[in-house]
Amino acid sequence: MAPTPAGDRRTRVHVVSDVHGNARDLARAGDGADALVCLGDLVLFLDYADHSRGIFPDLFGAENADHLVALRTARRFEEAREFGARLWAGVGEDRVSVIERAVRKQYAEMFAAFPTPTYATYGNVDMPPLWREYAGPGTTVLDGERVEIGGWVFGFVGGGLRTPMRTPYEIGDEEYAAKIEAVGEVDVLCTHIPPEVPELVYDTVARRFERGSRALLDAIHRTRPRYSLFGHVHQPLVRRMRIGATECVNVGHFAGTGRPWVLEW
């Protein structure tokens, strides 16, 4: 990482989201930057681009992963849950324990790859109770909180809203809105999920609308941050658009690209 900004030198921040197990590129993501910002989803449960990768195929094989993805893509969520339940019934060990052990293994690798300083918030597939156990002194975890970087104020809101997918860190709309409210007026509003705008929440490969936040959209209109940065939608219809005074940017599916988004001022 570059040294702390001083004098009139420009500040450079690299931003990543949806890391999903890509520790190799994560270790280089902060090169040349004053700080790294991570918007969550470190865990790789199932790679929709390569069904052989992730916790699910490690346990049940790529063929079963193919079938699960097909059910979810067709929005047959109840069938997908029943299919998964049948597979888990044959494991012979508590499901929560098996998943937590696999997540811990991934987190140990992911957090070791974070450069100093890193500012991070949770994604919807993350397990927040484990983060503070793995975050080293150079990593600051924020959720409904603010931090100053290079003279700009960054606000962080993690997690996702409730969906039929039932991923680990989904919360209710009111709880999410309260975290947005707690952040208040900032220069850069950092969230895992996008504001509720059709072009920003539609995934062109999954062919479905993901959940965005109306409270986030309202906050953008009301507080007018310079930037709203987010991830979550891996292949959005639109990656970048302006809402009033705010530049809204999907910083990308880092697991697939291996490249951070660069913010400089």
Q: Would residue 262 count as lying in a domain?
A: no
- 73-98 pLDDT, tens per residue? 888 999 999 999 999 998 888 888 99
Cα 107 versus chain centre, distance: 14
**Number of domains making up the chain:** 1
Q: Would residue 189 count as lying in a domain?
A: yes
Of the pLDDT bands very low, low, confident and very high (cuts 50, 70, 90), residue 49 is confident
Q: Would residue 114 count as lying in a domain?
A: yes
Q: Would residue 137 count as lying in a domain?
A: yes
- What is the Cβ-side half-sphere exposure of residue 244, based on CA atoms within 13 angstroms? 12
DSSP 9: P
Per-residue pLDDT at 1: 53
Q: Would residue 263 count as lying in a domain?
A: no
How far is it, in rounded angstroms, from Cα 102 to Cα 215? 33
Domain that holds residue 167: 12-256
Per-residue pLDDT at 5: 47
Tell me the two tokens of residue 224.
Answer: 């007018």
N- to C-terminal Cα separation, the chain: 17
- 7-32 pLDDT, tens per residue? 568 999 999 999 999 999 999 999 99
Q: Would residue 265 count as lying in a domain?
A: no
Q: Would residue 1 count as lying in a domain?
A: no
- 152-196 pLDDT, tens per residue? 999 999 999 999 988 999 999 999 999 999 999 999 999 999 999
Q: Are 47 and 56 in contact (CB under 8 A)?
A: no
3-state helix, strand, coil in the chain (%, to 5): 35, 20, 45
Q: Would residue 2 count as lying in a domain?
A: no
Lowest mean pLDDT among 51-60, 185-194, 209-218, 238-247: 51-60
Pairing mode of beta strands 188-191, 227-230: parallel
The domain that contains 223 carries what CATH number? 3.60.21.10
Please say if the pLDDT value at position 57 is more than 80.
yes
